[in-house]
A and B are shown apart, each in its own frame.
Chain A
Amino acid sequence: MDKQYEILEHPADLKIRAFGKDLPEVFVNAAQAIAFQQLQIPNSKKQIPNEEEEIFIESDSLGSLLVDWLSEILYRGEVNKKVYTDFEVAEFSENPYKIKSKTKGVPFEQKGIDIKAVTYHELEIKKAGDHWEAVVVFDI
Chain B
Amino acid sequence: MITKKGLNKISDYLWEIPKNFRADMRVPARIYADQNLLEKVFSDKSLEQLVNVATLPGIINYALAMPDMHEGYGFPIGGVGAMDMSEGVISPGGVGYDINCGVRVLRSDLNFTDIQPRLADLMNQIQRDVPSGVGRGGMMKLSEADMKSVLERGVAYLVEKGHGEQEDIENCEEKGSMIGADAAAVSERAKKRGQDQLGTLGGGNHFLEVQTVEEIFDEEIAKIFGLDKNQITVMIHSGSRGLGHQTCSDYVSLLHKNLEKYKIRLPDQELACAPFQSDEGKQYFSAMAASANFAWANRQLIMHLVRGAWQRVLGSSTNSGLKLIYDVAHNIAKIEEHNGQRLVVHRKGATRAFGPGSKDVPEKYRPVGQPVLIPGTMGTASYILAGLASGQETFFSVCHGAGRVMSRHAALRIRSGQAVKQELEEQGIVVRSLSAKGLAEEAPLAYKDINNVVEVVAKAGLARKVARLRPIGVVKG
Contact = CB atoms under 8 A, between A and B. Distances in A.
Interface of A: 7, 9-14, 38, 40-41, 60, 63-64, 67-68, 71, 75, 78-79, 81, 108-114, 116-123, 137, 139-140
A72 to B, nearest CB: 9
B204 A114 contact: yes
Contacts of A14: 408
A12 B193 contact: no
Interface string B438-466: 10000000000000000000000000000
Contacts of B135: 78, 81, 108-111
Contact of B269 (A63, A108, A139, A140): A63
Interface stretch (B154-162, B250-258, B273-281, B352-360): B250-258
B192 A79 contact: yes
Nearest 7 pairs between A and B by C-beta? A121-B73, A114-B203, A120-B269, A121-B270, A111-B134, A117-B97, A116-B245
Interface stretch (B26-34, B384-392, B399-407): B399-407
Nearest to B406: A11
A117 B248 contact: yes
A5 B407 CA distance: 18
Nearest to A119: B73
B409 A119 contact: no
A137 B73 contact: yes
B226 interface: no
A9 B245 contact: no
B404 A11 contact: yes
Q: How large is the interface on B (under 10, 10 to 19, 20 to 34, 35 or more residues)?
A: 35 or more
A13 B193 contact: no
A118 to B, nearest CB: 7
B407 A10 contact: yes
Contacts, number: 113
B107 to A, nearest CB: 29
A140 B97 CA distance: 9
Interface of B: 44, 70-74, 77, 93, 96-98, 133-136, 189, 192-193, 202-204, 242, 245-246, 248-249, 252-253, 256-257, 268-270, 272, 404-410, 434-435, 437-438, 477
A109 to B, nearest CB: 6
B272 A120 contact: yes
A86 B93 CA distance: 31
6 contacts: A9-B407, A12-B404, A38-B134, A117-B97, A118-B249, A139-B96
Contacts of B406: 11
B105 to A, nearest CB: 23
Contacts of A121: 72-74, 93, 268-270
